[in-house]
Structure 1
């Protein structure tokens, strides 16, 4: 019942949106019907699909790169106190810097196109994930590590059989946060210096005064965030969340 109640938010928002839009001309604040018709029009033109696919490609590529590096650096930092003491001030500093603050410099360095957008995603998602991986490493019981080493585990075997299973629950939380920040940062970067993508689509239509397309782009941002959450993040979390309680089982 609780899960079904959550979906009632959608018709509630549509109702409020319809009521508010009735107070304004459609070119200022379009109604849900106006945006729906605009969506059909844009889909028929074929351009919106290209913007969506390009944004998703950038997100997936940048997020995968960031996650791999975050796991590697986080495990190394968790395993070596010296490296962790060296790394943490840098992580704290860069995490406090908004990812979008790097966008203008990245565009100057890398030019327009995919490269600066992917770089923004990597910066945005790396630090939340690496911090959670380090926290997961810090929570591993020393007895587990000693037992594994006694049985001959070292190097990649220690990482695969001890570190990875132990840090997964904490790391998943970092992945959740990193994904949300990445998606927002990507759209913002595309609005500032992109030549395609959902963010560019919103910014371009804002410049020409097409409010229906602007709202359409905003709706697409939320829709794909929900879609990836339910189809990817939630299943991953559900699969690995139980690992956190295996010590107490």
Structure 2
């Protein structure tokens, strides 16, 4: 006969019983309301665009020559059915991701060194700070002279635009690390390499991800500017050619394509950054 004591569940307080991990109704409601608000904002934008172009509003801003959403959709369907437009998209994606990858490696690496080692700061930071205010577009003539191909010069300008936000945010992230964490790691016997790997890099990671997100947006601006000036392929080149031949609907298609590609690129960085930082608390606005 078993001697295991039996527990009367009826007499156990409700707070002592285990809870099932069901999704909170409030969280589901918040997610649905946020989705609805975003769809509403896009709908209002499209309605305003349609009304302004259909009635050809001519206030201080003139909409007489701006194509309607219907014309843009028709032109987009035609363009996306052609191989040539996809070649422009592929060229832009190749340039921006190559330039951004180079900027990430150099920006994060130099930022960690400058932020952590005083000698590296004294040697490397002055030229970075000197070149940082120069607009990327101003580098176009120099890049054409420096690099042997048009592709290499555009990749250089694209990477340059992303480099400065990445390196500066990485430096600030390292400098903002609580020195108490470093002293605690040293008291536990951690060496300099271990502290750098286990304390400095994770501590600076939120700022690094912020720099990557900002750098991606800047790199798209630099890419399109470079393609308009010196490119032969790419979405920026396509948009500039459409302006030259007065195809206004194609201009808008190019602009929207740039916006969508940039939005997706930034979203990928945010998702990747969140997966690298599972310990990071949620934003305060998520609690309201």
Q: Name the TM-score, length of structure 1 as normaliser.
A: 0.88
Task: Confirm whether residue 56 of structure 1 aligns to residue 121 of structure 2.
Answer: no
* Aligned partner of residue 192 in structure 2, secondary structure: coil
Task: Confirm whether residue 239 of structure 1 aligns to residue 275 of structure 2.
Answer: yes
**Cross-structure match for 1:14:** 46
How many pairs align? 243
Higher helix share: 1
Deviation at 1:99, TM superposition (A): 1.2
**Cross-structure match for 1:192:** 229
Structure 2 Cα separation of the partners of residues 159 and 48 of structure 1: 46
Provide the aligned C-alpha RMSD in A. 2.3
Task: Confirm whether residue 66 of structure 1 aligns to residue 98 of structure 2.
Answer: no
CA contact 1:202–1:213 (8 Å) conserved in 2: yes
**Cross-structure match for 1:162:** 199
Structure 1 Cα separation of the partners of residues 74 and 191 of structure 2: 61
Deviation at 1:54, TM superposition (A): 1.2
Structure 2 Cα separation of the partners of residues 209 and 154 of structure 1: 61
Cα deviations by residue, 1:189-235 (Å, 9 ceiling, x for unpaired) = 101111100000001111111111111000101111222233x1221
Matches within 5 A, 1:37-52: 37-52=74-89
| Bigger CA radius of gyration | 2
Cα deviations by residue, 1:178-199 (Å, 9 ceiling, x for unpaired) = 1110111101110111110000
Structure number with the bigger relative contact order (C-alpha 8 A, sep ≥ 6) is: 1
* Aligned partner of residue 67 in structure 2, secondary structure: coil
* Aligned partner of residue 177 in structure 1, secondary structure: helix
**Cross-structure match for 2:217:** 180
Task: Confirm whether residue 118 of structure 1 aligns to residue 151 of structure 2.
Answer: no
Deviation at 1:239, TM superposition (A): 3.1
Deviation at 1:240, TM superposition (A): 4.5
Structure 1 segments unaligned to the other structure (5+ residues): none
Task: Confirm whether residue 76 of structure 1 aligns to residue 113 of structure 2.
Answer: yes
User: For 1:4, which of 15, 18, 36 is the aligned residue?
Assistant: 36
Structure 1 Cα separation of the partners of residues 279 and 141 of structure 2: 41
* Aligned partner of residue 8 in structure 1, secondary structure: helix
Structure 2 segments unaligned to the other structure (5+ residues): 1-32, 57-62, 282-288
Structure 1 Cα separation of the partners of residues 39 and 277 of structure 2: 24
Structure 1 Cα separation of the partners of residues 209 and 219 of structure 2: 15
Q: Name the TM-score, length of structure 2 as normaliser.
A: 0.77
Cα deviations by residue, 1:56-115 (Å, 9 ceiling, x for unpaired) = 111111111101111111111112113213433323222211111102221233255321
* Aligned partner of residue 81 in structure 2, secondary structure: helix
Bigger Cα displacement from structure 2, 112-121 vs 141-150: 141-150
